[in-house]
Chain A
């Protein structure tokens, strides 16, 4: 049976989804979009294919009974941790190399080596969030930990913080721009060893893998979408606009969807679809990125917080400060002025979240309003404060609407693209 691949080349992240002939999702791939769209696409595609192989192994195991199905999930978690550990090892090598190249770098490299050793020893707990949530990034997890370790060392005057972060940042960007060919078999062997699988379990997995590899996975057709889609080396008919893909993807995730809101890094889209997932009308934001994910990114930077920390913090606010501008350029100024006036940080944050939601509401109104059901997708849909404010404004202006947010919502566009590939393949 053929498989179909959808790739969504976004401005900040690239996603890939592989489905089988029945439209069932087999694999996901995700990476940051760095300098090269081509590399990002290749990485996401590679991840999705490996992920699909794991799905097939899982299916093979589940045919053997309930406990084997659980084993499948266990294999997947172990595999993800192993891949991340492998990437961490290459990150270490490159960071040390860069550190050594700086003046007095040898001493620093020594300290960093110890730091990485600590992280590698912790690989299983460190990367378990990645194994549990396929919408999280290796870079975010690893950078948060490295930052806190490096800060500690710097405070103890053991290392220059600037030097450490400088080397790390460069190394991590280089790594994201490198396509790594991970072989399934050896990686799986190492993963099972790290996770201490019993010989019996390891044997069962090896047999399932053998069965899967006897029938190679074939991608019959690919469709690309997203901001960078023109850069994909695909023929024209295999490129679909992200609007159509988001509409179809949202329909696949929640079949009663009639209105879709997608807030990504650089743009916001409001889409109306019919009962087949066919787009009937859409609106995109103005040319500037005001009110998009990037805006939250600036705010997070300004507040020295991780982007995923913003929403939960905003939810602790007692009231929302009125913010009139969602201009990305002025975000920092607005924030500092409010802080200098003595406003509480979480209240300002809630105000900023509200401002984003108000812009999105305008776009929704432009596209034809909010119908039932309403599906919210894109990176910003993972922010709980945005979701709460959105729900309350929609209830106020349009009456009660069911609001869907899927845990895989960042893959909506790629899923839609895969479904288009499937239709084309069948046509």
Chain B
């Protein structure tokens, strides 16, 4: 089989996982691991290591994309609430999430927070855990978070009939370190040679990890990267952009494809941000849970859902754009996403001050029309290529 054929096969698999709202991958894992639970979690960041170390399969729930008819999900939300919770409730009520033994809701925003309560009301008896990531980014917050992690660990381990085990946490941390490195390689390759990895390909490859055993996913990413390097593709005359705002509800594939077809290379984004949240390796040490807690305080990426402590996000964005030699920024955020949208004015101001161009638009996971995006992104790209400015 040629490298390109193998890539195609691999991408097909990822796209199948992406479109599979019935979680077949998870079913297969459970069949192969009798007695072990699968625990779902909402975006953005949940330390999957803890769930993994407790003997369960962590499953990232990322909405229903554009594949789910929303009937009862809409009955729970007003028109001014984003789309992800609608499809999540719809899938839950259709029974597609019955195979999960529990759900973890991180403190992403008020909507995800309240979704935890909706789950308590609609699915009584189901294990629901709200994970309050610390906004006090100091030792006090770290300690509170550590206790929270211990609670999560104990709960999940009890469901897996396992004893919470320090060594297991350390082992899981190492497996996830490898996974983060693999994803890092993927993103580095895109930054270095974006013609070799399309934006939607990187998205699909990273996203497949949400339903897979971590080692299998690391294998997959590493294989993809080494095969993609062998691709013989000419670099086209496109602008390099950083796309941000899509850290929770994910855009439809068509949107990512539209951006690249309109003359952009997306050299960095915040899609699947949770999987890449921790920067660098976590050193498990003698107290691995504490190491995870500490990592949240000092190794987190900058994100709209985490309290802006010392460094302004705008400065971090500008630094990233410059480091990647990007020509501009595309703000692509879900409609009604408070964290992303409230951050836009200061981020845009930072870009303006640094003389960096940007455009912005909103989407929903089930957006079906791309004409407007195509025109905007195309104009952005053309004007930058022609005049180096908008």
A and B touch in the complex (CB under 8 A): yes
A residues with a Cβ closer than 8 A to B are: 286, 288, 322-325, 330, 333-334, 337, 358-359, 361-366, 393, 397
Knowing A324-B368, A337-B371, the reply to whether A362 touches B66 (Cβ < 8 A) is: no
Partner of A365, one of B72, B78, B367: B72
Q: Which residue of B lies closest to A359 (CB)?
A: B74
Interchain nearest-CB distance for A201 vs B (Å): 56
Interchain nearest-CB distance for A242 vs B (Å): 21
Besides the known contacts A322-B66, A362-B70, A362-B71, 12 further A-B residue pairs in the complex with CB atoms under 8 A apart: A322-B368, A323-B368, A324-B364, A324-B366, A333-B371, A334-B369, A358-B71, A362-B72, A362-B73, A363-B75, A366-B75, A393-B71
Q: Is the CB of B75 within 8 A of A365?
A: yes
Knowing A334-B369, A337-B371, the reply to whether A324 touches B71 (Cβ < 8 A) is: no
Q: Is the CB of B369 within 8 A of A288?
A: no
Q: Which of B67-93 contact A (CB under 8 A)?
A: 69-75, 78-79
Cβ contacts under 8 Å, A364 to chain B? 75
Interchain nearest-CB distance for B60 vs A (Å): 23
Interchain nearest-CB distance for A387 vs B (Å): 17
**Contact-residue bracket for chain B:** 10 to 19
Best-buried of B73, B74, B368 by chain A (most CB within 10 Å): B368
Question: A-B pairs with CB below 8 Å: how many?
Answer: 42
B residues with a Cβ closer than 8 A to A are: 66, 69-75, 78-79, 364, 366-369, 371
Q: Which residue of A lies closest to B367 (CB)?
A: A324
Interchain nearest-CB distance for B122 vs A (Å): 12
Q: Is the CB of A286 within 8 A of B367?
A: no
Q: Which residue of A lies closest to B372 (CB)?
A: A333
Cβ contacts under 8 Å, B367 to chain A? 324
Q: Is the CB of B75 within 8 A of A333?
A: no
CA distance A330 to B69 in the complex (A): 20
Q: Which residue of A lies closest to B67 (CB)?
A: A322
CA distance A334 to B79 in the complex (A): 19
CA distance A62 to B385 in the complex (A): 84
Partner of B368, one of A334, A362, A366: A334
For the complex of A and B, 5 pairs with smallest distance between CB atoms: A365-B75, A362-B74, A366-B75, A324-B368, A361-B71
Could you jot down 11 A-B contacts, CB within 8 Å? Answer: A324-B66, A325-B368, A334-B369, A337-B371, A358-B71, A358-B74, A362-B70, A365-B71, A365-B75, A366-B75, A393-B71
Best-buried of A324, A333, A334 by chain B (most CB within 10 Å): A324
CA distance A363 to B74 in the complex (A): 8
CA distance A75 to B365 in the complex (A): 59
Q: Is the CB of B74 within 8 A of A365?
A: yes
Interchain nearest-CB distance for A84 vs B (Å): 42
Partner of A362, one of B75, B364, B366, B369: B75
Cβ contacts under 8 Å, A361 to chain B? 71
Interchain nearest-CB distance for B196 vs A (Å): 29
Q: Is the CB of A286 within 8 A of B369?
A: no
Partner of B78, one of A286, A333, A363: A286
Knowing A286-B78, A322-B66, the reply to whether A397 touches B368 (Cβ < 8 A) is: no
Cβ contacts under 8 Å, B69 to chain A? 358
Interchain nearest-CB distance for B334 vs A (Å): 13
CA distance A330 to B364 in the complex (A): 15
CA distance A322 to B254 in the complex (A): 14
Cβ contacts under 8 Å, B66 to chain A? 322, 324
CA distance A363 to B72 in the complex (A): 9
Interchain nearest-CB distance for A135 vs B (Å): 29
Cβ contacts under 8 Å, B369 to chain A? 325, 330, 333-334, 337
CA distance A337 to B79 in the complex (A): 24
Q: Is the CB of A397 within 8 A of B71?
A: yes
CA distance A333 to B371 in the complex (A): 9
Q: Which residue of B lies closest to A322 (CB)?
A: B368
